[in-house]
Structure 1
Amino acid sequence: MSADIPILAANRVSDRAKKTLDIVKQFVEERCIPADPVFAAQVDAGGDRWDHHPSVIDDLKEEAKKLGLWNMFLAKGHYKEGAGFTNLEYGLMAEYLGKSRCASEAVNCAAPDTGNMEVLAKYGNEAQKKEWLQPLLDGKIRSAFLMTEPDVASSDATNIQLSMKREGNEYVLNGQKWWSSGAGDPRCKIYIVMGKSDPGNKDVYKQQSVILVPANTPGIKINRMLSVYGYDDAPHGHGHLSFNNVRVPASNMVLGPGRGFEIIQGRLGPGRIHHAMRTIGAAEKALEWMLLRINDPKKTPFGKQLKEHGVIIEWVAKSRLEIDAARLVVLNAAIAIDDRGAKGALKEIAEAKVLVPSMALTVIDRAVQSFGGAGVCQDTPLANMWAQIRTLRLADGPDEVHLQQMGKNENKKGKAVSAKILRQAEITKDLFAKYGVSLSHIGPKSKL
């Protein structure tokens, strides 16, 4: 087997998944990564960057289907529509996907479609699944998730203001959304939209709903596409949209009015871990580029190759340590989801969500530094990788929100931990007395 599997995960990975992992590795390394520059060139070809998508993606999709690489993200035991892999098994595959711009889309495992398909598979009714889930599963259309808004602090989703008012058999939507990833793609046919349907509800977590809005519904305007540190991410993109009296059938409501928080929590949990899985791969790719640079015999600052400078070798060692440690955190979260479900793995998911992007940014920054000026321009993928991964410290809830919750939960142990330490101190005092040892060297502030 050519693909490496950490010892932590080996006994939990099926023979079928091991074989598939080898295929994924080869497909990414030999087909997708070489196609990434072609993808970029095809986006730039012609006139409007938003009116077409690169044909190389379609060819890669056909190859992926023939190889059996399709919809691997829908976890075994949770969704009947998937390929039958666990979250742990997909996590190992997603690491390879994260090394290429094209790979995730080529195997129909790209955000935001993954999270949207999970919403429809988990919460959608049969009619909604037939109309929207099946075309997404088939890779015939793409989708967008509309939650964040420009005029409120969307890190607290109770602030969401887009209005959903019931009028007869329809809901009328008014408001704005931005960072609507995927909205620029001409293949995007459906928006999954969160809005406020019951602003008077005393329970602030029951005021919101999620509804399906076809992208061509009258009253929707894409005001602009947002850049990410200067990158527009065409044709996918991140849209700033306005809704002006947009009428949607009431039957498009997902799960029911007032259940928006339940749905987005069910969606964002797996989405966070998928981002973390792919980000491990991006960090690995950055380390590979750094190794390429420091072993270049033509680059000899101060008369030596970069690899001969002690600080550079230290960067390599630190990067390897940090990637391997972060990978274990991600795989631990994947195992927790497999065993307890996303709701039962919130701590592990949050740990991965916070830790992994910061790790990857550090590794990528070292690679950029090793390349000098070439590292910040289009001659390597590093600058674009850094920009994309920097957004993950904001996406699916900013780091600070997760750290706040993690800190509060950890602090709940404070009373029990204090009692334990004080009890241990009492035992130690008894032992001092038993063995006739003086307490004179213990400071006056000691718990002893």
Structure 2
Amino acid sequence: MDFAFDARTEELRAKLLAFMDEHVYPAEAVAEEQRAQLASPWDTPAVVEELKAEARRQGLWNLFLPDSEYGAGLTNLQYAPLAEITGRSPQLAPTALNCAAPDTGNMEVLTQFGDEQQKKQWLQPLLAGEIRSAFAMTEPEVASSDATNITTYIERSSDGTDEYVVTGRKWYISGAMNPDCKIFIVMGKTDPDGEDIRRQQSMILVPRDTPGVTVKRAMQVFGYEDHSHGGHAEVIFDHARVPVSNLIGEEGGGFAIAQARLGPGRIHHCMRLIGMAERAIELMCRRAVSRTAFGKALAQQGVVHNWIADARVTVEQLRLLVLKTAWLMDTVGNRGAHTEIQSIKIATPRAVVDIIDRAIQLHGAGGVSQDFPLAELYAGARTLMIADGPDEVHQRSLARRELKKYL
């Protein structure tokens, strides 16, 4: 395994680091000021569109897509250090580069499984950053960590029309509050009584303006509504009718599509989490050398030394594991990297939460305030111990794979 950056990665890293310094970090405060003046907090501040235009001009666009027909054509190993950099400003940078979830996963689904009409109607405007999208899987009434529990129905119309009827209730549907979110990829059951529980589900495209679709409310995460990412909404599908041609792939293929979608999504989250940890370490060090308590700088306190040293060791370990996972995904595929994908999904969020927590402690009251990004970083990192499968599901699967060697 050679994790040295190749020439193209080095070039993109240099451009992206400069883009962050010159455009993204200065825009963080501007975006908040502009958002306060908007008619709706879910509208996109003008500075975000300016960032997108500049990123596209510089060729820092759709870096996540390995398919060169649609994206930058980077491998996972090439994209990893770039995603890490964007994680330092998770509210702005991924969106600026058109590399923000859930659009990334939805574009991957349409690239791999969409037909030509679906690509033309929905993938192309997503690739251009003209619209946003949402992925509607999680439900409030069932344990959605087990996708076979999903109760949303996708039924063929009984009145002779060539349509599917979608009925169900979803929540924590990321991005759905954004008025630019024009399309939902909905996971539901087309064959709820089928013998194979992993062939009961299908995925279907449901435009936001479809009669019967109601974006009911924004769900909070530790009190945050996450305006910059378009929120996390509760969405009702009440006999929403869409053409049969809106089905993605085949009936019964939803579970397999979800697994294909979640592999890259999980590693992308972990890449960005490392960037979040690096931002927390930077803030911790700046605070330590600038604050005095009990007659000496915080940087002279032994416990602060321990926090900073432990954080640095942890980040270096996590980065190596993420890079190994990216390398395996590139060389043996997502299935061959299953153990490593689950390992980083377990290890990275919980370790980064701990690092951010130490940074908050070092900042005192400021750490939990809106004057520093730490509280929001904490909320985002802590959520990822649940999102894309809670830790316990991955631990269960990983343990079973290990035990299988001895049974």
Please classify the TM superposition score into its range, dividing by the shorter chain length: over 0.9
Q: Does 1:238 align with 2:228?
A: no
Contact map agreement 2:277 2:352 (CA 8 A) in 1: yes
Work out the CA distance in 2 between the residues paired with 1:99 and 1:33: 9
Listed as ranges, the matches of 1:37-116 within 5 Å are 37-50=29-42, 52-75=43-66, 78=67, 80-100=69-89, 101-116=91-106
What is the match of residue 166 of structure 2?
A: 173
Offset from partner CA, 1:174-202 (integer Å, 9 cap, x none): 11000100000011011000001101101
TM-score, normalisation: structure 1: 0.88
What is the match of residue 425 of structure 1?
A: none
Q: CA deviation at 1:402?
A: 0.3
Contact map agreement 1:97 1:278 (CA 8 A) in 2: yes
Work out the CA distance in 1 between the residues paired with 2:403 and 2:35: 50
Contact map agreement 1:295 1:306 (CA 8 A) in 2: yes
Offset from partner CA, 1:199-236 (integer Å, 9 cap, x none): 11011111100000111101111111001100001151
Unaligned runs of 5+ in 1: 1-6, 416-448
Listed as ranges, the matches of 1:9-408 within 5 Å are 9-10=3-4, 13-50=5-42, 52-75=43-66, 78=67, 80-100=69-89, 101-167=91-157, 168-235=161-228, 236-296=230-290, 299-408=291-400
Q: CA deviation at 1:79?
A: 5.6
Question: Which one has a bigger Cα radius of gyration?
Answer: 1
TM-score, normalisation: structure 2: 0.97
Work out the CA distance in 2 between the residues paired with 1:132 and 1:375: 41
User: Secondary structure in 2 aligned to 1:152?
Assistant: coil
Work out the CA distance in 1 between the residues paired with 2:388 and 2:84: 19
Work out the CA distance in 2 between the residues paired with 1:186 and 1:387: 23
Q: CA deviation at 1:359?
A: 1.1
Structure 1 pair 120–315 and aligned structure 2 pair: CA distance change class (3 A) = same
Contact map agreement 2:111 2:123 (CA 8 A) in 1: yes
Work out the CA distance in 1 between the residues paired with 2:94 and 2:30: 16
Work out the CA distance in 2 between the residues paired with 1:8 and 1:45: 49
Q: CA deviation at 1:8?
A: 4.5
Contact map agreement 1:33 1:99 (CA 8 A) in 2: no
User: Secondary structure in 2 aligned to 1:210?
Assistant: strand
Work out the CA distance in 2 between the residues paired with 1:150 and 1:335: 36
After TM superposition, the runs of 4+ consecutive aligned structure 1 residues lying more than 3 A away are none
User: Secondary structure in 2 aligned to 1:355?
Assistant: helix
Work out the CA distance in 2 between the residues paired with 1:154 and 1:57: 33
What is the match of residue 441 of structure 1?
A: none
User: Secondary structure in 2 aligned to 1:179?
Assistant: strand
Work out the CA distance in 1 between the residues paired with 2:264 and 2:378: 22
Offset from partner CA, 1:268-327 (integer Å, 9 cap, x none): 01000000000000000000000010000xx22111100111110111100000001000
| CA RMSD across the alignment | 1.2
For structure 1, which segment, 167-176 or 396-405, has the greater mean C-alpha deviation from structure 2 after superposition? 167-176
Question: What amino acid is the match of 1:18?
Answer: E
Work out the CA distance in 1 between the residues paired with 2:23 and 2:317: 29
User: Secondary structure in 2 aligned to 1:9?
Assistant: coil
Question: What amino acid is the match of 1:256?
Answer: E
Work out the CA distance in 2 between the residues paired with 1:162 and 1:79: 35
Question: What amino acid is the match of 2:248?
Answer: V
Offset from partner CA, 1:366-409 (integer Å, 9 cap, x none): 10010111101111100010001111001100010001000111
Work out the CA distance in 2 between the residues paired with 1:409 and 1:343: 13
Work out the CA distance in 2 between the residues paired with 1:359 and 1:80: 36
Question: What amino acid is the match of 1:223?
Answer: K
Offset from partner CA, 1:36-68 (integer Å, 9 cap, x none): 121122222234212x21111110111111111
The sequence identity of aligned pairs, in percent, is 49
Work out the CA distance in 2 between the residues paired with 1:365 and 1:325: 18
Question: What amino acid is the match of 1:65?
Answer: R
Question: What amino acid is the match of 1:170?
Answer: E
Contact map agreement 1:79 1:122 (CA 8 A) in 2: no
Contact map agreement 1:91 1:331 (CA 8 A) in 2: yes
Question: What amino acid is the match of 1:217?
Answer: T
Work out the CA distance in 2 between the residues paired with 1:43 and 1:69: 25
Work out the CA distance in 1 between the residues paired with 2:386 and 2:203: 21
Work out the CA distance in 2 between the residues paired with 1:369 and 1:241: 37
Q: CA deviation at 1:9?
A: 0.9
User: Secondary structure in 2 aligned to 1:295?
Assistant: helix
Contact map agreement 1:79 1:121 (CA 8 A) in 2: no
Q: How many residues are matched?
A: 402
Offset from partner CA, 1:74-130 (integer Å, 9 cap, x none): 12xx56312121111101100000001211111110000000000000000111001
